[in-house]
């Protein structure tokens, strides 16, 4: 109702209000119904009909409102209504189709399957390592150029401890992850050595930590070991028909640091792994890619891409550390 709308006698205003409330309409639709009912009352009053007679003819406001609610005024033209209806049908059809595809892939990839008990401890380990590695690496960059050398040497010490602990787990994945952290340590140590104000004590301290790192990284993982490990993973990750297994999914999750995949992750897995590769092509890809040091497996083979990416990045980091660490240790002793 606007300010210039004529006020109806109180009983009719109340009847109007009760009717509108019963329609449960809002916005333009409500305004339109209010305008029409108000006009209806005004016309009846102008025709000399008494308020009581209008109300008697009007009947039960709640019933009237409910009937209008069932057939509200439409703001859309019949053509617009048809288009909207077609769009609704198309949306519903698409939703059903997507749910069906999702359901089929969820069953195929066993998204909600129970985790195989025999590999649980191993998955725990790789998930723990994958989850912690970014924190160790971040702590090194957090103590970056602005920090004083003593603080950076302390962070290097913490990271060396993490590398030793991770590498001691013994499996290739842990060793490759620890190689990536070791490479960040080398970068951080290089920055510390550029500090002209470095004291003799700081140098000794840094040398001790770099020596500890050198003893840990002395054993390098060979491509042959990696491929054997990869084959073992593939064996567990694909079934006889070449389809990804629940283990394969858990391995992929663990490599991302997720020990208990969220409901969202489980819901999206079937989409991510819609073309999860198969055992034979995964093996072939790994051999080709480890040899060429690329990380892009053929399009859509997400599982292989992910695992091989870990392998190649780790091997690259390992080579960098082997090359730069002796030179750094020589510099720190000067």
Partner 1 sequence: MASPLAKVESDLMRGAGPTAVLQLLARQEMYGYELVSKLRDETSGTLAMGHSTLYPLLYNLEAKGLIASKERVAESGRARRYYSLTAAGRKALKLQREQWQSLTGAMVKLGIVAPVAG
Binding site for partner 1 (CB under 8 A): 32-33, 35-37, 39-40, 42-44, 46-47, 57-60, 63-64, 67-68, 70-74, 77-78, 81
Beta carbon nearer to partner 1, 68 or 328: 68
Q: Name the residue among 334, 330, 328 with its Cα closest to residue 189.
A: 328
Beta carbon nearer to partner 1, 29 or 195: 29
Beta carbon nearer to partner 1, 12 or 321: 12
Q: Burial of 61 by CB count in 10 Å (0-12 exposed, 13-18 middle, 19+ buried)?
A: buried
Beta carbon nearer to partner 1, 68 or 308: 68
Helix (H) or strand (E) holding 155: helix 149-167
Beta carbon nearer to partner 1, 43 or 225: 43
Beta carbon nearer to partner 1, 78 or 145: 78
Q: How far apart are CA 265 and CA 272, in angstroms?
A: 9
Q: Which residues does residue 238 pair with via DSSP β-bridges, in sequence order? A: 244
Tell me how far, at minimum, the Cβ of 22 lies from partner 1, in Å: 10
Are 229 and 173 spatial neighbours (Cβ–Cβ below 8 Å)?
A: yes
**Residue in this structure with the two tokens 């491929």, named with its chain if needed:** 227
What sign has the CA pseudo-torsion 11, 13, 16, 22? Answer: negative
Tell me how far, at minimum, the Cβ of 83 lies from partner 1, in Å: 13
Tell me how far, at minimum, the Cβ of 75 lies from partner 1, in Å: 10
Which string of b and e fits 229-263 if b means at least 16 CB within 10 Å?
bbeebbebbbeeeeebbbbbbbbbbbbeeebebee
Tell me how far, at minimum, the Cβ of 93 lies from partner 1, in Å: 24
Q: Which residues does residue 244 pair with via DSSP β-bridges, in sequence order? A: 238
Tell me how far, at minimum, the Cβ of 17 lies from partner 1, in Å: 15
Tell me how far, at minimum, the Cβ of 277 lies from partner 1, in Å: 54
């Amino acid at each position: 109702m606007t300010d210039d709308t004529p006020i109806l006698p109180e009983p009719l205003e109340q009847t109007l209000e009760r009717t509108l409330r019963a329609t449960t309409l809002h916005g333009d639709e409500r305004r339109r119904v209010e305008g029409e009912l108000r006009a209806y009352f005004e016309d009846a009053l102008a025709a000399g009909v008494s308020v009581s007679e209008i109300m008697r003819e009007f009947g039960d406001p709640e019933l009237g409102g409910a009937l209008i609610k069932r057939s509200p005024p439409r703001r859309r033209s019949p053509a617009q209504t048809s288009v909207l209806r077609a769009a609704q049908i198309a949306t519903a059809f698409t939703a059903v189709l997507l749910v069906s595809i999702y359901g089929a892939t969820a069953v195929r990839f066993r998204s909600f399957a129970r985790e195989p008990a025999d590999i649980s401890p191993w998955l725990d380990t790789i998930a723990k390592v994958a989850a912690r590695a970014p924190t160790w690496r971040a702590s090194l960059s957090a103590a970056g150029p602005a920090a004083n050398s003593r603080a950076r040497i302390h962070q290097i010490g913490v990271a060396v401890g993490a590398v030793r602990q991770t590498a001691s787990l013994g499996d290739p994945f842990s060793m490759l992850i620890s190689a990536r952290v070791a490479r960040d340590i080398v970068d951080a140590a290089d920055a510390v050595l550029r500090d002209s104000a470095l004291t003799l004590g700081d140098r000794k301290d840094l040398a001790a930590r770099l020596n500890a790192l050198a003893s840990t990284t002395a054993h390098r993982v060979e491509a042959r070991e990696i491929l054997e490990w990869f084959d073992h993973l593939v064996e567990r990750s694909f079934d006889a028909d070449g389809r990804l297994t629940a283990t394969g999914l858990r391995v992929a999750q663990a490599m991302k640091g997720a020990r208990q995949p969220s409901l969202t992750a489980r819901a999206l897995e079937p989409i991510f792994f819609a073309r999860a590769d198969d055992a034979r092509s995964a093996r072939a890809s790994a051999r080709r890619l480890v040899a060429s040091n690329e990380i892009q497996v053929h399009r859509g083979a997400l599982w292989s891409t992910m695992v091989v990416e870990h392998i190649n990045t780790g091997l690259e980091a390992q080579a960098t550390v082997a090359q730069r660490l002796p030179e750094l240790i020589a510099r720190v002793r000067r």
